[in-house]
Amino acid sequence: MTRHHAPRHHAPRHRRTVRRLRAASAAVATGLLVTGLLAAPARGQSPTDATPSPQPPVGTVARTAGDARFEPGPCPRTPEPVEALEGARCGTLTVPENRAKAGGRTIELGVAIVPAASDTPKPDPIVWLAGGPGDDAVGEAQMAIDGGLNRDRDVIFMSQRGTYSADPTLLCPNIDEFNARSVGLVYDAPSTERLHVAATKACRDQLAGRGIDLAAYNDIESAADYDDLRTALGVEQWNLYGISYGTHLALTSMRLHPEGLRSVGIDGILPPSRAGSVATWSSARQGFDGLFKACAEQPACNERYPNLSAGFDRLVRELEAEPVTTTVTPPGSDKPVKVVLDGGALVNWMTSATHVAPQVPAALDELANGKPQRIARQWAGGKLSPQAMGRVAHGLVYGVFCGEWTPYESQTQALRGGQQAFPSFPRSVQAQAPQLTFLRPDCDVWNVPAAPPSIRDVTRGDIPTLALSGGFDAQTGADNGPYVARTLPRAKVVTVPYEPHVVFATSKCAQEIAVSFFDDPAAPNTKCLKDLEPPEFEIGR
């Protein structure tokens, strides 16, 4: 659920920085990396008879805390090298798979600690909580470090249970393979649903056959994992920075394990009390409207693409009634593939296309005039990319969705969410929330028990919190910032205009705000917001 592209700022130098960030974050968003162990030297003066020995750097000694144990060792495995991890201190946290089962099996979570750039680092590190669910935090290290998060503090990355560098992994590449094949199928057809659910069941059967307790892969256990890590590392107090689904986990951690939390940044906010199809539809409406409004306010865009919102709605209805089939060669491939675009596919494409907002009006206009190739290439490219294969922990995805979301949202409520957000859409489109297609039948075959109802409680307390959103975010709507701040009196709500989901990945301004927040949680520096400009939309012929 985290895909990132570039912001718009005044200075050309900023645009060059953003282009580099765009390339890096496109990789990080799906969890890519590789590194070797390079222990960082201890900071401070050499011990003498007259001075006490300095504390060893966090992560350089084995420690045990209750049933959890941290052991220094090689850095977590990664698909590709990650420059940010050179010099990282690494190791493994061993925790119970299911804390409710005394004496049960244990699992291992990869840990990488990137040292602060400063020679005089602050004592409270920042912990990066990855998106997804199912992405590996270690795979997002480059994004965090490129954004300057380690300027004054160590940054800790731990693979959430089941993810790429954990043991066991709950990846299930068969689902990724089906998603790649599905670009040639009608998106929301009953026949596609049957195949999708069959792939989900095959994934479940394969994992259960390995003896994995699927009910133990959820926010409650993951929040306990991070609290165990803090204790095992001997850290008195730290900070959290969560992106996308990582905000869901951060808010859960604030509620269940507030001790030791100095401050929390949440970016692309997904509150557990709201999560589900209704919120997904609402987020899509907000993100789409933000983009359409920006075009309408730009004279050249408005003149060339008037009534963009109405035109998009019309295309969804027309494609759902009569899907378009074309053949395209996806980016990075030399093999043509068949692509079918129906109404549901267009809605889901649009949800991600807010990351390339300047192209959207022209792409929709091309589609309306019989040229679907641009949208088809982008739609297929995301599903056929090597970065989409074998890197997402589907076992964790369904553990969260099926244990924490669907038990507390009825099918009627989910449908009503689509009807309220997009009343003109066909019912078949309204029935499948973007990003959550076929979720309920998938969860029926995943068959894990519901989490306690308290998992849906709002997070309350006085922990300083930075609530960051993007004005174009169609995945986690910007209204989630004020929503969580209602019960977090020390929260600072910031919406970065013209930005898509996860503003830290695309906006230098957002990075500056985040870093300044950890300097002074009571007064993050938001002056850069006044210099932001809307995107310059592509104007086709």
Quick one: pLDDT band at residue 103, thresholds 50, 70, 90? confident
Report whether 253 contacts 240 (CB < 8 A): yes
* Residues ≥6 apart with Cβ < 8 Å to 175: 199, 200, 203, 394
pLDDT score for 541: 72
Quick one: pLDDT band at residue 55, thresholds 50, 70, 90? low
pLDDT score for 5: 31
- Distance separating alpha carbons of residues 29 and 450, to the nearest angstrom: 29
Q: What is the mean pLDDT of residues 288-314?
A: 97
Quick one: pLDDT band at residue 63, thresholds 50, 70, 90? low
Report whether 19 contacts 508 (CB < 8 A): no
Q: What is the mean pLDDT of residues 387-398?
A: 95
Nearest one of 432, 409, 396 to 284, comparing CA atoms: 432
Q: How many residues are given for the chain?
A: 541
Residue 328 vs residues 184, 332, 347, 373, 379: alpha-carbon distances, Å: 11, 12, 19, 6, 10
Quick one: pLDDT band at residue 35, thresholds 50, 70, 90? very low
Q: How many CB atoms lie within 10 A of CB 102?
A: 8
Q: What is the mean pLDDT of residues 475-499?
A: 98
Residue 275 vs residues 215, 414, 541: alpha-carbon distances, Å: 19, 11, 41
Q: What is the mean pLDDT of residues 252-281?
A: 97
Domains and CATH numbers, the chain: 12-38+59-170+215-270+457-531 (3.40.50.1820), 171-211+274-453 (no CATH)
- Distance separating alpha carbons of residues 508 and 14, to the nearest angstrom: 7
Quick one: pLDDT band at residue 67, thresholds 50, 70, 90? confident
**HSE on the CB side for 334, CA within 13 Å?**
0
Quick one: pLDDT band at residue 57, thresholds 50, 70, 90? confident
- Distance separating alpha carbons of residues 174 and 172, to the nearest angstrom: 5
Quick one: pLDDT band at residue 75, thresholds 50, 70, 90? very high
Q: Calculate the CA 513 to chain-centre distance.
A: 19
Tell me how many degrees the CA angle 58-63-67 measures, rounded to the nearest 5: 130
Q: Which uninterrupted H or E stretch holds 266?
A: strand 261-267
Quick one: pLDDT band at residue 42, thresholds 50, 70, 90? very low
- Distance separating alpha carbons of residues 356 and 6, to the nearest angstrom: 8
Strand partners, 158: 111
Could you give the 3-state DSSP secondary structure of residue 399?
A: helix
- Distance separating alpha carbons of residues 254 and 52, to the nearest angstrom: 35
pLDDT score for 61: 61
Q: What is the mean pLDDT of residues 12-25?
A: 36
Q: What is the mean pLDDT of residues 502-524?
A: 97
**Alpha helices for 257-384 (secondary structure H):** 277-296, 299-304, 308-321, 343-353, 360-368, 373-384
- Tell whether the model's pLDDT for residue 11 goes beyond 50: no
Q: Which residue has the higher pLDDT, 541 or 103?
A: 103
What is the rounded average pLDDT for all residues in the chain?
90
pLDDT score for 540: 79
- Tell whether the model's pLDDT for residue 233 goes beyond 90: yes
pLDDT score for 24: 37
Give tens-digit pLDDT for 142-197: 999 999 999 999 999 999 999 999 999 999 999 999 999 999 999 989 999 999 99
Q: Name the pTM for this structure.
A: 0.89
Q: What is the mean pLDDT of residues 52-70?
A: 70
Give tens-digit pLDDT for 326-359: 999 998 888 999 999 999 999 999 999 999 999 9
Strand pairing category for 68-72 and 337-341: unpaired
Q: How many CB atoms lie within 10 A of CB 39?
A: 13
Report whether 334 contacts 324 (CB < 8 A): no
